[in-house]
Structure 1
């Protein structure tokens, strides 16, 4: 499976609301919501994220909302200080097409699918609301 150009463009313009300031130098932003970009109910999405939260409970994660510019669309997610390889593994496990990864100040969009696309999205802090 490949990500459509339309979805890739949508994934390429994320905005973030962190529950607290994060001081990780390298971290992933991962969710269990809406696997394969198929809309699920909030109840189903929350249950999926509860399973993910249990899986990452050994880490010092931070809740983060990921959305479009005006936050008319959001997904509840987690900022997790893990490697890109671990993040892609988790993304695949929860049916995600992509994950976000931060190294220093730089934000990257990483595909979880067979074709391992990676796109630099610039400074992640300018996307925080």
Structure 2
């Protein structure tokens, strides 16, 4: 693996999640973004377009979903994401469709980092609830 790929994989392991309301700890769901495919930074307008495409794709599949933000601990990097009530295999396939290196999967409050396009082992990262920051509204990351 390249140094850049290793750095991204390490960053993914530190992600925190901004939500407007908590999830039940008994739920299973995937967290998927369309931003910055293959880890390549795109412009805000390009990311918005990909995000709309992902949202339409999820709507066509008729899975329950909700918006959230995946963020670095210092909030210096944030990506619009979707919590989707979908099984892990289907979530990985959806991540691949949108050229994502990885997705997150939550099962009964256990957070997993699941590779899509990169050759790393799936990791269990601890409690999802420990990485959640409740906010009154999701930040505007379109700038």
Structure 1 runs, 4 residues or longer, greater than 3 Å off: none
Aligned to 2:20: 19
Aligned to 2:141: none
Q: Deviations over 1:47-102 (max 9, x none)?
A: 10101101111222010100111211100000001011011001000010000000
Aligned to 1:55: 57
The TM-score normalised by the length of structure 1 is 0.92
The TM-score normalised by the length of structure 2 is 0.84
- Bigger Rg over Cα: 2
Aligned to 1:97: 101
Aligned to 2:31: 29
Which ranges in structure 2 are unaligned for 5 or more consecutive residues? 134-143
**Distance in 2 separating the partners of 1:116 and 1:13:** 16
Alignment root-mean-square deviation, CA:
1.7
**Distance in 2 separating the partners of 1:43 and 1:88:** 25
C-alpha contact (below 8 Å) 2:16/2:73 kept by paired residues: yes
Which ranges in structure 1 are unaligned for 5 or more consecutive residues? none
**Distance in 2 separating the partners of 1:71 and 1:115:** 27
**Distance in 2 separating the partners of 1:22 and 1:92:** 25
**Distance in 1 separating the partners of 2:120 and 2:9:** 13
Aligned pair count?
A: 129
Cα offset, 1:22, TM superposition: 2.6
Is the alpha carbon distance of 1:86 and 1:116 closer, same or farther for their aligned partners in structure 2, counting shifts above 3 Å?
A: farther
